[in-house]
Amino acid sequence: MFTVAIISAAGGSGRSTLAANLASLLAQRGMPPFALEFDPQNLLATLLGSEAPPDDGLLTDFMGNKPFGASALCNSDNVGFLPFGHANKQDAAGFEQQLRSTPGWLRNCLAQIDFADDTILLIDTPRLPSIHACQAVEAADLVLSVLMPDVRSMTLLPAAQATALTDCGRQKPLLHVINALDSTREHHNRLAAELRARLRQDLVPEIVHRDTAIAQALANSVSVIDASPDSLVVHDMNGVVNALLARRAAASGKACQCHA
């Protein structure tokens, strides 16, 4: 298994959108993905085709003393996923307390699940700082940091770097991706060029463009890959998949099967 924690210090950067769509693209390539929502927002299922956020998920399993993963689902695109589940304030606070008092809780839970060896696990997280994100980073082989081409992401970049490199106990390989670039905006292009110069090989070469195909697909409860397979954003996200597979291959010493 290769585990990727998707993080960002700025809210609304596209973490959940990427988690869902990268998982769908992996499934389309015949690779087994699993998307784990480690975010009390409980929205990932709706990005994977569910009409409404499910009540059941990892939080309700935890509260009901069920095994981790008991509420896992699989969508029509063959994407396995585990929603967070509906959380009232008290349950959410109790779970957060569990995470704070048990470092490595998520890593230990994941170790109990019998994933296929070649599974790529994508973990969606709340924006930083967050104990959920920290546990995801601690469980990950690679941290994918999502940046928007804006001043907020630029300013918060050190926070994302510190999360992967120092704050969560173990130093993890870090890869950044720029999401939602509007190439008609001069300042987007300028900030993207600045990030490229600063991050070099730690940045996915393909930038994910802002594309209305995402909202259209969401409105119809279908994946953007099914709705607009030839869209720019699907092309860009395939580039992100390639970058993840290249990192996985580098980590395992095997050759990369990085073609769409």
Ligand X SMILES: Nc1ncnc2c1ncn2[C@@H]1O[C@H](COP(=O)(O)OP(=O)(O)OP(=O)(O)O)[C@@H](O)[C@H]1O
Nearer to ligand X by Cβ, of 102 and 212: the residue is 212
Give the nearest distance from C-beta 78 to ligand X in angstroms: 21
222 binds, among ligand X, Mg ion, none (CB under 5 to 8 A by kind): none
Residues that bind ligand X (CB under 6 A): 8, 11-17, 41, 127, 179-180, 208, 210-211, 214-215, 218, 233
Give the nearest distance from C-beta 98 to ligand X in angstroms: 21
Nearer to ligand X by Cβ, of 43 and 246: the residue is 43
Give the nearest distance from C-beta 16 to ligand X in angstroms: 3
Q: Please state, as a whole number, how many other Cβ atoms lie within 10 Å of the Cβ of residue 161.
A: 18
CA distance 108 to 121: 15
Nearer to ligand X by Cβ, of 118 and 182: the residue is 182
Give the nearest distance from C-beta 34 to Mg ion in angstroms: 17
Nearer to ligand X by Cβ, of 41 and 166: the residue is 41
Give the nearest distance from C-beta 127 to ligand X in angstroms: 5
β-pair partners for 208: 179
Q: Tell the burial category of 166 from Cβ atoms under 10 Å away from its Cβ (0-12, 13-18, 19+).
A: exposed
Give the nearest distance from C-beta 38 to ligand X in angstroms: 11
Nearer to ligand X by Cβ, of 160 and 169: the residue is 160
Q: Is 242 among the residues that bind Mg ion (CB under 5 A)?
A: no
17 binds, among ligand X, Mg ion, none (CB under 5 to 8 A by kind): ligand X
Q: Which 3-state string (H, E, C) describes the chain?
A: CEEEEEECCCCCCCHHHHHHHHHHHHHHCCCCEEEEECCCCCCHHHHCCCCCCCCCCHHHHHHCCCCCCCCCEECCCCCEEECCCCCCHHHHHHHHHHHHHCCCHHHHHHHCCCCCCCCEEEEECCCCCCHHHHHHHHHCCEEEEEECCCHHHHHHHHHHHHHHHHHCCCCCCEEEEEEEECCCCHHHHHHHHHHHHHHHHHECCCCEECCHHHHHHHHCCCCHHHHCCCCHHHHHHHHHHHHHHHHHHHHHCCCCCCCC
**Contacting Mg ion within 7-26 (CB under 5 A):** 15-16
Nearer to Mg ion by Cβ, of 53 and 104: the residue is 53
Nearer to ligand X by Cβ, of 120 and 234: the residue is 234
Q: Which residues contact Mg ion (rule: CB under 5 A)?
A: 15-16
